[in-house]
């Protein structure tokens, strides 16, 4: 038998004696790499990269806008320039900056997945749905209770904060939305944010952590990073608890798509619930006649969602491996 690598000096003696090494003793470097546990640090590098590049981009964008206003003298007086912060809270500005930030987020996720030897569709959990569309609908409707609970929590928490830490950005932005300028903001909230954020957090980060950590820890850490990405204290708390639910959906179904749809439903519900009364020129109804049936029906769908998720079987060959066999 002939060996390609000169690792043994006594080939003839061992061959003559019949003591021939098996082929597994000559694993290639790629085979060895495929059998090593996945590293954890790239997860945090990806997160810091996405957060850092997003912050830098927004700072640079504000500086560029200020310089353009000053250099080309559009007749804007210094007192008006001082109000640039208010201008950045318009639907148009939020849509432009938000969509650019989402491009950075999904770009980091795609680049990190590209560097992985695992196929990109597998690494990012772009797997086909393992549940029916009716189940996805029940996930969305069952999330209404979570939205309402988080809304009450966020409102109470925001009021308890010092004035300097309170965040009313989205209240201001949605108050300025009209049917004529709603399109870009709706794309940001219902399309860009769900797809890009779920790809990075539940697709790349959580799926990688699941290969080394128990599910509860991987989902918890991913949700914490998801919350931190939202920066303001109120948004951090809300996003963290929402991230737990989205993380469970991705883990139990083995796919990022249920979380994308639920995320889009949540953002869309918040958007239309906030602006619909003003657009229709009618006050928002919060009477018990509406609230009680809504809560009750959502609770039924939430219980149904838990039953469906309990019956789903995560891929134990891919997830929850303390010493995973897939390199990434």
Residue 298 is assigned to a structural domain of this protein? yes
Q: What is the number of structural domains in the chain?
A: 1
Q: Report helix, strand or coil for 175.
A: helix
N- to C-terminal Cα distance for the chain? 35
pLDDT confidence of residue 265: 95
Q: Is residue 72 part of a domain?
A: yes
pLDDT for position 283: 57
pLDDT for the residue numbered 318 = 54
Residue 50 placed within a domain: yes
Characterise 39 by phi-psi region: left (phi > 0), alpha (psi -120 to 50), beta (else).
beta
Query: Domain for residue 326, yes or no?
Result: no
270 occurs within a structural domain: yes
Let me know if residue 131 belongs to a domain: yes
Return the structure tokens found at 51. 């957060």
Give the residue numbers spanning the domain of 135. 41-311
State how far the Cα of 254 lies from the Cα of 313, in Å rounded to an integer: 9
CB neighbour list of residue 325: distance below 8 Å, 6 or more residues apart: 34, 35
CA 40/CA 55 separation, integer angstroms: 24
* Residue 316 lies inside a defined structural domain of this protein: no
Check if the beta carbon of residue 204 is closer than 8 Å to that of residue 124: yes
Tell me, what's the pLDDT at 285?
54
Domain contains 271: yes
Answer whether 74's CB lies under 8 Å from 163's CB.
Answer: no
DSSP output for 12-73: HHHHHHT-PPPGGGG--HHHHHHTSPPPSHHHHHHHHHHHHHHHHHHHHHHHHHHHHHHHTT
Which among 262, 245, 5 is positioned nearest to 137, based on CA atoms? 262
- What pTM was computed for the model? 0.81
- Listed in sequence order, the residues at least 6 apart from 86 whose beta carbon sits closer than 8 Å to its beta carbon are none
Query: Which pLDDT score, from 0 to 100, does residue 249 have?
Result: 96
Rounded to whole angstroms, what are the CA distances from 201 to 37, 113, 244, 276? 20, 12, 11, 31
The residues near 98 (Cβ < 8 Å, ≥ 6 apart) are: 188, 192, 193
Tokens of 83: 């109000």
pLDDT in tens, the chain (328 residues): 444 444 444 444 444 445 544 444 444 444 444 556 678 999 999 999 999 999 999 888 878 877 776 666 555 555 555 566 666 778 888 898 999 999 999 999 999 999 988 899 999 999 888 889 999 999 999 998 888 888 888 888 888 888 878 887 778 888 888 888 889 999 999 999 999 999 999 999 999 999 999 999 999 999 999 999 998 888 999 999 999 999 999 999 999 999 999 999 999 998 988 887 666 665 555 555 677 788 888 999 999 999 999 998 876 545 544 433 433 4
């Amino acid at each position: 038998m002939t060996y390609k690598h000169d690792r043994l000096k006594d080939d003839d003696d061992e061959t003559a004696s019949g003591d021939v090494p098996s082929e597994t003793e000559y694993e290639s470097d790629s085979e060895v790499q495929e059998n090593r546990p996945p590293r954890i640090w790239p997860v945090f590098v990806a997160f810091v990269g996405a957060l850092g590049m997003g912050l830098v981009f927004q700072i640079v964008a504000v500086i560029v806008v200020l310089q353009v206003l000053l250099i080309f003298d559009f007749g804007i007086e210094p007192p008006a320039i001082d109000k640039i912060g208010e201008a950045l809270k318009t639907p148009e500005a939020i849509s432009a900056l938000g969509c650019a930030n989402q491009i950075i987020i999904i770009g980091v996720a795609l680049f990190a997945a590209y560097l992985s030897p695992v196929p990109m569709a597998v690494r990012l959990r772009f797997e086909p749905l393992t549940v029916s569309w009716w189940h996805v609908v029940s996930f969305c409707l069952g999330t209404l209770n979570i939205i309402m609970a988080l809304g009450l929590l966020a409102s109470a928490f925001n009021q308890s904060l010092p004035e300097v830490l309170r965040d009313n950005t989205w209240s201001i932005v949605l108050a300025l939305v009209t049917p004529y300028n709603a399109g870009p903001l709706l794309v940001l909230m219902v399309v860009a944010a769900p797809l890009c954020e779920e790809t990075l957090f539940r697709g790349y980060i959580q799926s990688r952590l699941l290969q080394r950590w128990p599910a509860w820890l991987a989902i918890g850490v991913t949700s914490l990073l998801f919350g931190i990405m939202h920066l303001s204290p109120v948004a951090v708390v809300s996003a963290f608890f929402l991230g737990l639910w989205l993380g469970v959906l991705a883990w139990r179904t083995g796919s990022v798509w249920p979380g994308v749809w639920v995320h889009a439903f949540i953002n869309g519900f918040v958007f239309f619930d906030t602006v619909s009364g003003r657009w229709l020129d009618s006050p928002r109804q919060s009477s018990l006649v509406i609230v009680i049936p809504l809560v009750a029906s959502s609770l039924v769908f939430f219980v149904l969602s838990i039953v469906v998720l309990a019956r789903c079987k995560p891929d134990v060959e891919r997830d929850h491996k303390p010493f995973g066999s897939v390199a990434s």
